[in-house]
Structure 1
Amino acid sequence: MEFTVTFLQYFGKAMLLSYPLLGFFVLVITLLGLMVARLEGWPRHEGLYWAFITALTVGYGDRRPSRRSTQALAVATAVVGIMFSGIFVAVTVAAATQAFQSYFAA
């Protein structure tokens, strides 16, 4: 239990530090989703759903852009999503590494 608490403390601190960047990526994903929804004629909530499913690399395939311009925006959404996911994973690994080091140093 001590390790878990230590990990969560390091993870929380790292998330606070990376929050501006992660928040920016969420904003970009949201804006791209709204743009695709408008160009494709989808309701806003469908565009947001599509953008986050695409950005988080789930990709159900129930919605997909059909125009060249929106397909280009889909690629941009996926790239931003990969960066978002990469930072989240990096923060998690860094927190786990620090927690392991402090656990075994004690």
Structure 2
Amino acid sequence: MRRKFLAGLLTGLRVVWPVLSGLLVLIAGLGLIVGIREGWPWTDSLYFAFVSGLTIGYGDLAPKTLLTRTLAIFIGFCGVLFTALIAGIAVKALTDMTKEDQP
């Protein structure tokens, strides 16, 4: 049962991998732009991008200008889209697995 789920999950990830990798690059790139505009080191910029993208948002780094705040909104949107795609693939793999097991 676990193997069927993992096989379905990996198949789904293989299909949408170009979209997922594009979203990751976009999140990192926007984070670096925010960091440059705010004067943060690149490590803090990537940290901010992925913490914001995963909608955790600790608040230890916060953009101050209108441009960087707008970019932070786009980072959050891309992160939600990334998470939704992975969740959707997992649900589809689980649904397909349970359909196969029914007589």
**TM-score bucket of the superposed structures, by smaller chain:** over 0.9
Deviation, structure 1 residue 81:
1.0
TM-score, structure 2 as length reference: 0.96
Gaps of 5+ in 2: none
Q: Deviations over 1:43-97 (max 9, x none)?
A: 0010001000101111111111011110000011111111111111101100111
Deviation, structure 1 residue 104:
2.3
Deviation, structure 1 residue 103:
2.1
In structure 1, distance between residues paired with 2:91 and 2:85:
10
In structure 1, distance between residues paired with 2:20 and 2:87:
12
Does residue 66 in structure 1 map to residue 48 in structure 2?
no
Aligned length: 103
Does residue 14 in structure 1 map to residue 1 in structure 2?
no
Gaps of 5+ in 1: none
Equivalent residue, structure 1, for 2:43? 45
Instruction: Percent identity, please.
Output: 31
TM-score, structure 1 as length reference: 0.94
